[in-house]
A and B are shown apart, each in its own frame.
Chain A
Amino acid sequence: MIDAPSSRRLDHRLPERFMPTINYDLCRVCRRCVNECSYQALEFKESRVVPSGGCVACGRCIAVCPANCIEVRPVPPQFAPHGNWSERSRRSILAQASSGGVLLSSCGADDTHPPIFDDLLLDAAQVTNPSIDPLREPVETITYLGRRPGRLEVCDGKVIVQEDDTPLIRMDMPLMFGHISLGSISYNAQKALFMAANELRIVAGSGEGGLHPDFYQYADRICSEVASGRFGIKPEYLKGVAAVEIKIGQGAKPGHGGHLPGEKVTTMISETRMIPRGTDALSPYPHHDIYSIEDLAQLVSVLKESTEYRLPVGVKIAAVHNVGAIASGLVRAGADFLTVDGFKGGTGAAPRVIRDHAGLPVEVAIAAVDRRLTQEGLRNRVTVCAGGGVRSSADMIKALALGADVVMVSTSAMIAMGCRVCQQCHRGLCSWGIATQRDDLTSRLDPQVAAARIVRLYRAWNEELKEVMGAMGIDSVESLVGNRDRLRYRGPNPKIAEVMNVKHIGEGWG
């Protein structure tokens, strides 16, 4: 399952990145840490536990140690300092010179470039517009996913909705779980997400791994995904869910397909994806029936025909440089909602070069999409979902104010379940039982417990959203969406503020 270190020559072995350090004064030698370490970075030797190399800082040993005597320390730089040749650049070269392979990674881009979210400040109400106490007065966060009616007509006191009346999905908060497939994560992890979405009354993405028969009980909270691999698509996968989403791209790897390595294709995964056991599950880079907006319109239409116009059909794209024009095309192709996945979005496996270097920060992408659709008179017709690097309720609020109707989160839900973002998902050894298919590891995750933690996290975020809206004097989340006048930019590059159409700090209203 993992690459065998012995296959690499010793002279190319890289220095350790992390070192589990044990306080032997406190250690009771219970060896729980040794048993729990799926990366085999600890061993029992000569009556004590010692590090054996390969620690990834997943934090499992720290969490299970009853004596609280383990500390995982980052290993200080082992190469001669150099301002240009970073430790990582040299490690990458050494690794690739040994393997000749494309460097694989997971989770979101981990560069230290500060997110634009951190350069935005929120507004609050003072004197001229009163703030609202969300604990005592109504502050509404109900959000609808789907295509809005183009026009309403009032005739003899009755409201008549003009044009199409595709149903909208009601969600209690402007939040959805991103698409994480069964395969990239375990049965228990996906079950926890669906249970949490059900409890929170929001929508969770299925990912493109099909839908396990046990999960149809949550179907009215699931948005099923049609991606280029077309895994697990059968009539009930399209007809029996809340919404269907065509995945064109993913923020972590725009323009790239999917690749679930054969080791992760267990019997359960093969049944759900409807592919043979042990073969690589490859998703082609493009959909080969979509080479243009007109082709996309056909897939949208055939899905609408297949679902008899009862479900919203959306399209998800990675945030790329021309995202505004592409988003306009998606709406014109018939998408009822569109999802923009930013460059910091997560993944279960992606080439590092793409994960770290391709795409557009979601903050800029949201503003670009919102502005372009508004200019073309389309913005009021669709739901814009956006995600990719949303770490907190503050990021969520800023994404809403930049122009997203719904914010997509995934990594934060993983962290709520136990993930420590050690970026080893692609190895299938997740010690927390999330990004793995190994039975002994997946059984570590109790879906009930994990779901409860996810529910608590996002309920808290929603309360924080209400607090901020109240402080701004806004009583409905719809009035926050696209309200860029309640944001100010304080970052290093005013050009970013200009392209996002956000004023600089110090600039007043009007």
Chain B
Amino acid sequence: MKYVCRPKGHAHDCDCGKDSMSVVGDRAVIDLSLSATQPMHYTTLNCAMRKAMRQGCLSIELKGVMGQRYLASTASVPGLHVAVHGTPGNDLGAFLNGPTIEVFGNAQDMTGNTMNSGRIIVHGNAWDVTGLAARGGQILVKGDTGYRVGIHMKEFGESRPTTVIGGTAKDYLGEYMAGGTILVLGLGGGPPVGRSLGAGMHGGRIFVRGEVSPEQLGPGAALLPLNEDDEREVRRLLGDFIKAFGTEVHQDMNGYVKIAPSSSRPFSGYYDKTNV
């Protein structure tokens, strides 16, 4: 079947990336400012990135990204590193399956949507619904995040997604959470998490550095102290965070609280199965 790189477009022998991409060895650089069409359409950029991946590139550097969406969606090349300079659009690294994406700027909504494995490192803020339904891999955000981050994260076997937020998260963090770990550090000051925290969660765990009052919890979530395994995991995630951003974080475990589900079957008594 024919490859098409643009909805309104041409067959696969296309010009995407011709004027903006240079490949040296296994390193590709795509400079969006060199594109004849300004701003470069996301389909063109994604097509060029796929070309680089097909050529076996293990490093793709994007310069001058201006809101182009869906970058590296479903990218599955093991060991691939994508560096994004500028501001990527929504759904960065959706369905990501292995590669590492590093954003030198802010990310928008739905970063790491339904990601399977790999890493997304954001040297700035990442906004709403970051890490939606993630099933593996890691998302590290240096700054703040928006609403409903880490919704419906799950885990299975060895796949356990982790998200570390250096700044704060807003309401509904970890809603419907079924697995994985979220760590919020609240480094920039202000309340680290909002309301309806972990609403309907039935798996996984959320660690917050700072104060969380019971009124902030959503239904199904419980406030607990950290056990030894938890402390080990927080230290490991702090290590990842420090390594990625070089920021120093106070490692005193007394400052952390854990939010975990009160039951893995939150609605088991909710339904009546009588044959009426």
8 cross-chain pairs, A with B, having the tightest CB-CB distances, nearest first: A101-B272, A230-B133, A95-B274, A306-B74, A99-B272, A104-B271, A274-B156, A91-B276
Question: What does the 1/0 interface line of B152-176 toward A look like (CB < 8 Å)?
Answer: 1011100100000000000000011
Which chain B residues lie closer than 8 Å to A304 at the CB level?
Answer: 7
Tell me if A412 is interfacial: C-beta within 8 Å of chain B. no
Bound-state CA distance A288–B130 (Å) is 11
Contact in complex: A276, B275 (CB < 8 Å): no
B residues 178-236 near A (Cβ < 8 Å) are 178-179, 200, 202-203
Report B82-125 residues with CB < 8 Å from chain A CB: 90-91, 94-95, 97, 109-110, 113-114, 116
- Cβ contacts A39-69/B at 8 Å (1 or 0 each): 0000000000000000010000000000000
> CB distance B74 to A279 under 8 Å?
no
In the complex, which residue of chain A has the Cβ closest to the Cβ of B95?
A306
Report how far A3 CA is from B95 CA in the complex, Å: 39
Quick check: is B2 within 8 A (CB to CB) of the other chain? yes
What A residues does B70 contact at CB under 8 A?
Answer: 298, 301-302, 305-306
* B264 and A279 contact, CB distance less than 8 A: yes
Which of B50, B176, B272 meets A96, CB within 8 Å?
B272
Known contacts A306-B74, A306-B94; is-contact A282 B202 (Cβ 8 Å): yes
- Chain A residue nearest in CB terms to B2: A165
CA distance A230 to B95 in the complex (A): 10
On chain B, the residues within 8 Å of A88 by CB distance are: 276
Q: 0/1 per residue, A286-304, Cβ < 8 Å to B?
A: 0011000000001101101
Kindly specify which of A190-198, A231-239, A402-410, A467-475 makes contact with the partner chain: A231-239
Q: Which residues of B contact A2 (CB under 8 A)?
A: 273
Query: A310 an interface residue at 8 Å Cβ cutoff?
Result: yes
Docked complex Cα distance between A304 and B179 (Å): 28
Contacts of B270 in A (CB 8 A): 101-102
Contacts of B109 in A (CB 8 A): 289
In the assembled complex, how far is the CB of residue B182 from the closest CB belonging to chain A, in whole angstroms? 15
**In the complex, what distance in Å separates the CA atom of A92 from the CA atom of B76?**
52
Q: Are the C-beta atoms of A235 and B69 separated by less than 8 Å?
A: no
A352 to B267, CA, bound (A): 16
- B residues near A261, Cβ cutoff 8 Å: 265, 268
In contact, A234 and B97 (Cβ under 8 angstroms): yes
**A103–B274 Cα gap in the complex (Å)?**
7
Bound: A262/B130 CA distance, A: 27
- CB <8 Å contact, A165 and B272: no
**Contacts A103-B276, A262-B268, A305-B46 hold; do A298 and B156 have CB atoms under 8 A apart?**
no
Majority SS at the chain B contact face: loop
Residues of A within 8 A of B159 (CB): 274
Q: Which residues of A contact B (CB under 8 A)?
A: 2-3, 14, 17, 56, 88, 91-92, 95-96, 99-104, 163-167, 228-230, 233-235, 238-239, 259, 261-262, 270-271, 273-276, 278-282, 284, 288-289, 298-299, 301-302, 304-310, 334, 351-352, 423-424, 426-427
Task: Name which residue of chain A comes closest to B97, CB basis.
Answer: A235
Quick one: which of A235, A238, A262, A310 contacts B1, CB cutoff 8 A?
A: A310
Residues of B within 8 A of A14 (CB): 274, 276
- Are B152 and A163 in touch, CB under 8 angstroms? no
Say yes or no: is B243 at the interface (Cβ < 8 Å to chain A). Answer: no
A288 to B177, CA, bound (A): 13
Known A-B contacts A233-B95, A262-B264; A164 and B148 likewise in contact (beta carbons under 8 Å): no
Q: Is the CB of B151 within 8 A of A279?
A: no
Chain B residue numbers with a CB within 8 Å of A262 are 264-265, 268
Indicate whether B246 reaches chain A with its CB closer than 8 angstroms.
Answer: no
Is there an interface contact between A230 and B4, defined as CB atoms closer than 8 Å?
no
Report the separation of the CA atoms of residues A95 and B226 in the bound assembly, to the nearest whole angstrom.
42
Instruction: Give me 11 A-to-B residue pairs in the complex whose CB atoms sit less than 8 angstroms apart, sorted by A's number.
Output: A3-B274, A103-B276, A164-B8, A164-B9, A165-B4, A282-B267, A289-B110, A298-B69, A298-B90, A309-B6, A310-B3
B25 interface contact, C-beta 8 A? no
Residues in A whose Cβ lies below 8 Å from that of B1: 167, 310
Contact B129 A289 (CB under 8 A): yes
Whether B5 sits at the interface, judged by CB under 8 Å, is yes
Q: Are A309 and B3 in contact (CB under 8 A)?
A: yes
Query: Contact between A238 and B7 (Cβ–Cβ < 8 Å)?
Result: no
Q: Which residues on the A side are within 8 Å of B135 (C-beta)? A: 230, 233, 274
Q: Does B67 contact A (CB under 8 A)?
A: no
Instruction: Tell me, in angstroms, the Cα distance from A273 to B133 when the chains sit together.
Output: 12
- CB contacts (< 8 Å) of B3 on chain A: these are 308-310
B148 contacts A276, C-beta separation under 8 Å: no
Q: Does B64 contact A (CB under 8 A)?
A: no
A54 to chain B, nearest CB (A): 8
Specify which of B5, B6, B154, B272 lies most central, judged by the most chain A CB atoms within 10 Å of its CB.
B272
Instruction: Decide yes or no: A302 and B178 within 8 Å by CB, A282-B202, A288-B151 being known contacts.
Output: no
Q: With the chains together, A14 CA to B272 CA distance in Å?
A: 14
Contact A309 B151 (CB under 8 A): no
Residue of A nearest to B136 (CB): A274
Q: A103 to B69: give the CA distance in the assembly, Å.
A: 43
**A56-B275, A164-B8 as given contacts; A279 in contact with B156, CB under 8 Å:** no
Residues on B with C-beta less than 8 A from A95 are 272, 274, 276
Instruction: Output the nearest chain B residue to A280 by Cβ-Cβ distance.
Output: B265
Bound together, the chains give a CA A129 to CA B270 distance in angstroms of 60
CB–CB B129/A288 < 8 A: yes
Are A233 and B202 interface neighbours, CB within 8 A? no
Is B43 interfacial (CB 8 A cutoff)? Answer: yes
Quick one: given A56-B275, A280-B265, are A235 and B203 in contact (CB under 8 Å)? no
**Contact partners of B265 in chain A: CB under 8 A:** 261-262, 279-280
Binary CB contact string for chain B from 129 to 156 against chain A (1 if under 8 A, 0 otherwise): 1001101000000000000100110111
Q: Which single member of B73, B116, B151, B268 contacts A302 (CB below 8 Å)?
A: B73
The 8 Å CB contact of B74, one of A104, A163, A239, A259, is A239
Say yes or no: A306-B276 contact (C-beta < 8 A), given A280-B267, A282-B200. no
